[in-house]
């Protein structure tokens, strides 16, 4: 972190709570990470680890009763957590694009694709009607839709799932944001389409050098796309490492468990599949100390008593008192 350039997005101690019948339950517990310019940060974890909440919290789009209660979010020097609702609106879509998960539900069914694009462009860029339309058509072309002129006038239901997700990506990028948050962008798609969409995201990232936060539960996607990876567990950061280091020398026992639980050929070519015993604690049921301690084979007394802080090493950080040695990987 010392030699790194100033990060584009810097999130520190982000805390989100959920108000459940008057009781405050922590959903995100002091999550910190940063995204460098032009970098792809993968955010990985099981369902319920807090990945999507992290993404939504950054652009202040949490659905009540979820609420951001602490931490700072800085985008290129601007404190997002202190912005007025109006200023926040110009950040959404303008500075930060957001790719939603399910293209079947995230496009307005009764408004044409062209209109949705033009509205988004005009919300952020001061362009005339013709230029707006030109830009919209251009983006339809860039995300790989054939015959942009035809697609422009169509409604979402007239497109396939993969085409719709291309439209969603165009909508997220059409106002030239500096950062794109993609929340499980391929999860809802057919396996055959997933690869195309990932390829598109990677191409667009290369062309425009936009930074990206890629939220996924799929380590395969991470391996293909990410530069660095943050692993979330029960609303806390377990580990943040460059992608190669993460797969080859995970520090946190949970990271290793996650990797081993993913069907992936090992160095020797055989398939290994080990499950971590137990299940991730639900909201409000996080044990004292390290959240992972009941499932961890290295857990000791200190793990059950105190929450381990985030230890920083050269290029990585981990939250564990008894990290794995390089050799064990």
Name the site residues for other proteins (rule: CB under 8 A): 18, 20, 27, 47-48, 50-53, 59, 61, 63, 89-94, 97-98, 100-102, 105-111, 116, 119-120, 123-124, 155, 157-158, 168, 171-172, 175, 183-184, 217, 282-285
Nearest one of 296, 304, 301, 287 to 324, comparing CA atoms: 296
Bridging pattern class, strands 317-318 and 236-242: antiparallel
Residue 312: phi, psi to the nearest 5?
-100, 130
**Whole-number minimum distance, CB 306 to other proteins, in Å?**
24
Location of structure tokens 């997933």:
194
Nearer to other proteins, 122 or 208 (CB): 122
**Closest to other proteins by CB, 124 or 256:** 124
Q: How far apart are CA 193 and CA 307, in angstroms?
A: 41
Torsion-angle region of residue 278: left (phi > 0), alpha (psi -120 to 50) or beta? left
Cβ of residue 64: shortest distance to other proteins, in angstroms?
10
Handedness of CA 313, 319, 321, 323 (dihedral sign): negative
Q: Which residues contact 54 (CB under 8 A, 6 or more apart)?
A: 11, 14, 28, 31, 43, 215, 232
- Please say which residue, 208 or 315, places its beta carbon nearer to other proteins: 208
CB of 269 to other proteins, least distance (A): 33
CB 205 within 8 A of CB 224: no
* Nearer Cβ to other proteins (97/323): 97
**Token duo for residue 59:** 């652009």
The residue (of 174 and 320) whose beta carbon lies closer to other proteins is 174
- Report the nearest approach of other proteins to the CB of residue 198 (Å): 18
| Closest CB to other proteins among residues 167, 243 | 167
Shortest Cβ 8–other proteins spacing (Å) = 18
Would you say 18 or 317 has its CB closer to other proteins? 18
Minimal distance, residue 316 CB to other proteins, in Å? 25
3-state secondary structure of 208: helix
The answer to whether 304 and 288 have CB atoms below 8 angstroms apart is yes
Provide the minimum distance between the beta carbon of 288 and other proteins in the complex, in angstroms, as a whole number: 17
Instruction: Identify whether 274 is preceded by a cis peptide bond (ω within 30 of 0).
Output: no
> Which residues, 6 or more positions from 312, have their beta carbon under 8 angstroms from its beta carbon?
1
């Amino acid at each position: 972190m010392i030699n790194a350039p100033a990060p584009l997005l810097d999130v520190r101690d982000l805390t989100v709570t959920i108000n459940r019948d008057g009781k405050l339950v922590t959903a995100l517990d002091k999550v910190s990470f940063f995204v460098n310019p032009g970098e792809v940060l993968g955010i990985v974890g099981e369902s319920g680890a807090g990945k999507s909440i992290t993404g939504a919290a950054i652009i202040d789009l949490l659905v009540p009763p979820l609420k951001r209660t602490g931490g700072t979010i800085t985008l290129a020097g601007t404190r997002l957590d202190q912005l007025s609702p109006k200023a926040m609106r110009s950040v959404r879509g303008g500075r930060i694009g957001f790719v939603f998960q399910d293209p079947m539900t995230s496009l307005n069914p009764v408004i044409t694709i062209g209109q949705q694009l033009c509205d988004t462009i005009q919300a952020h860029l001061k362009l005339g009607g013709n230029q707006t339309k030109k830009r919209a058509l251009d983006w339809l072309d860039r995300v790989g839709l054939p015959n942009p002129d035809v697609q422009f006038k169509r409604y979402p239901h007239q497109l396939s799932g993969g085409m719709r997700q291309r439209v969603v990506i165009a909508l997220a990028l059409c106002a030239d944001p500096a950062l794109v948050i993609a929340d499980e962008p391929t999860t809802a798609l057919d396996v055959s389409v997933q690869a195309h969409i990932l390829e598109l995201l990677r191409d667009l990232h290369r062309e425009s050098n936009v930074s990206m936060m890629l939220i996924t539960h799929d380590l395969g996607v991470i391996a293909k796309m990410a530069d660095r990876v943050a692993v979330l567990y029960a609303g806390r950061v377990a580990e943040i490492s460059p992608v190669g280091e993460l797969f080859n020398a995970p520090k946190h026992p949970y990271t290793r468990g996650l990797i081993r639980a993913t069907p992936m050929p090992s160095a020797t070519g055989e398939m290994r599949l080990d499950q971590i015993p137990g299940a991730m604690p639900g909201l409000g049921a996080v044990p004292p100390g390290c959240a992972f301690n009941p499932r961890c084979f290295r857990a000791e007394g200190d793990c059950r008593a105190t929450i381990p802080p985030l230890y920083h090493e050269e290029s990585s950080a981990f939250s564990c008192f008894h990290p794995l040695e390089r050799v064990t990987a």
